[in-house]
Homo-oligomer: A and B are copies of this chain.
């Protein structure tokens, strides 16, 4: 039986990257609800992210989204962030909100649009040099809505060409991370629908091309931990976009919809060397807080990942291996569930206090006055949002 004490040190390795856009308004196609205190600038987003880190010790870096987070002087933004105790992380390119991209970006039938999309990614690499970011994350909204609308096959070739042009511009310590998505905003086909497609392109690019796994981007019933295990085995798991979903890409708080699934994923992450020293897998959040508070929503999210990581670390792998070799299905399952069912919250509270963090980060945040302060200060101006 593994005890909490035995895993306490390993837990310190947990670092979750939070996205700048989580602090802005988001919503559905039906309505985006605004909320008081929503940031109006990149700096305000970073301040919120730093606050999440201050109360939890779990979120030492912030991912940026270009052009949403475009500033004139990224070196200065980096200083600003570091002054607040957080680093600038992954750069996310955006080739889905310009009118030109209506029918595709890197896969558009028009070479001029493809060129524009390549150039945008090259611009993002420039940003990375200034921010010190390691990863360029590419998620494409590319796809079609109607059968026959596009040439599925040709689009793959165009995609490969465009990615190659981008990849070669990366420096040796930078990576390209290619995200896949089952559907939405395209409804008939997407150009990178599954991990297989993402992998195929990464293999064609080189060692520093990796797959990004967004936990909400799969068909119903997909066994995500299998994909985690497979990509780690192949050395191609670049990063996670954590969130949770009941139906589609719901972008709910990670662990909220199916906590046991999160446990299973983290078990395979640990099993496959994707956690702790020596791992270069980035754990990121990608969520939309449509009806809940944004800063507390992010706090809840990183805490959920932490709690489930603790449970996953508690797994008695030696006993489990023994049960598996013996073919004892029920015992193996029981050992597995034992880790999941262990309530780690009290131990984690003590663990935090030992490290100078609030025992209950959520309560501490709510009592800190930060929320009231930003609601009072951030009046006027345009609230940040997805578009």
List chain A positions with a Cβ less than 8 A from chain B: 26-31, 33-34, 96-97, 99, 102-103, 109-110, 141, 145-153, 156-157, 182-185, 187-190, 193-197, 199-200, 203, 218-223, 225-227, 229-230, 232-234, 245-248, 250, 252-253, 256-261, 264, 268, 271-272, 290-293, 296-297, 300, 307, 320-321, 324-325, 327, 329-330, 332-337, 340-343, 345, 362, 386-387
Partner of A149, one of B218, B226, B332, B386: B332
Q: Which residues of B contact A387 (CB under 8 A)?
A: 31
11 additional A-B pairs beyond A30-B184, A153-B272, A188-B246, beta carbons within 8 Å, are: A146-B256, A146-B329, A146-B333, A152-B225, A153-B233, A153-B271, A193-B223, A223-B246, A256-B333, A292-B333, A307-B341
Check if A226 sits within 8 Å of B187, measured CB to CB: no
A232 to B154, CA, bound (A): 12
A258 to B324, CA, bound (A): 21
Q: Which residues of B contact A153 (CB under 8 A)?
A: 229, 232-233, 268, 271-272
Q: Which residues of B contact A97 (CB under 8 A)?
A: 30-31
Nearest chain B CB to A19's CB is how many angstroms away? 15
List the number of copies, as a whole number.
4
Q: Which residues of B contact A327 (CB under 8 A)?
A: 103, 109-110
Nearest chain B CB to A222's CB is how many angstroms away? 6
Task: State whether A185 and B28 are in contact (beta carbons under 8 Å apart), knowing that A291-B329, A343-B343 are contacts in the complex.
Answer: yes
Nearest chain B CB to A247's CB is how many angstroms away? 4
Q: Which among A197, A220, A257, A272 has the greatest number of chain B C-beta atoms within 10 A?
A: A257
A116 to B151, CA, bound (A): 45
Check if A28 sits within 8 Å of B29, measured CB to CB: yes
Residue of B nearest to A236 (CB): B200
Task: State whether A248 and B183 are in contact (beta carbons under 8 Å apart), knowing that A148-B332, A264-B147, A300-B330 are contacts in the complex.
Answer: yes
Nearest chain B CB to A189's CB is how many angstroms away? 5
Partner of A258, one of B220, B260, B271: B260
Nearest chain B CB to A186's CB is how many angstroms away? 9
Partner of A193, one of B149, B226, B296, B329: B226
Q: Which residues of B contact A293 (CB under 8 A)?
A: 329-330
Nearest chain B CB to A230's CB is how many angstroms away? 6
Q: Which residues of B contact A362 (CB under 8 A)?
A: 330, 334
